[in-house]
Amino acid sequence: MAKIAEAENTNKINLIGVGTTIEGNITSSENIRFDGVLIGNLSTKGKVFVGQSGKVSGEIRCKNCEVEGVVEGKVVVEELLSLRSMSRIYGEIKTNKLAIEPGAIFTGKCDMGGKKGTIIEPDPGKESK
């Protein structure tokens, strides 16, 4: 019987450099650093890093994400989304954990970590005035 080895995490990084513009969708199983311009969707099982000169107009789906540049669209992150002080996000965020540095700009809707139906009800013994 053949034994199937699990793929090791090699921490490979796909780099989209300054001066590069891509129109279309990108799908990867590795980490991506984006310093160029993407007009389309970006999906990876790894981490996405949008550098200071990076701009994404579309949807980002990934495990973790760190943003220093501009994102216009939806950002869906399984674990941690970090917005650095120079980042600008215009659109919708859905993540488990969110870290925002002072100076970051976020305009849109945020859905973070909670499950529907977990709203804390007021204490019935206390009356509101």
> Is residue 89 one of the residues assigned to a domain?
yes
> Is residue 128 one of the residues assigned to a domain?
no
> Is residue 80 one of the residues assigned to a domain?
yes
- Structural domains of the chain, count: 1
Give the pTM: 0.77
64-80 confidence digits (pLDDT tens): 999 999 999 999 999 99
Please give the C-alpha separations between residue 80 and each of 54, 68, 72, 119, in angstroms, as whole numbers: 19, 15, 19, 22
> Is residue 58 one of the residues assigned to a domain?
yes
Distance CA 77, CA 51 (A): 17
Distance CA 105, CA 109 (A): 13
> Is residue 1 one of the residues assigned to a domain?
no
> Is residue 110 one of the residues assigned to a domain?
no
List the domain range (segments joined by +) for residue 72: 13-104
Distance CA 105, CA 58 (A): 17
89-114 confidence digits (pLDDT tens): 999 999 999 999 999 999 999 998 76
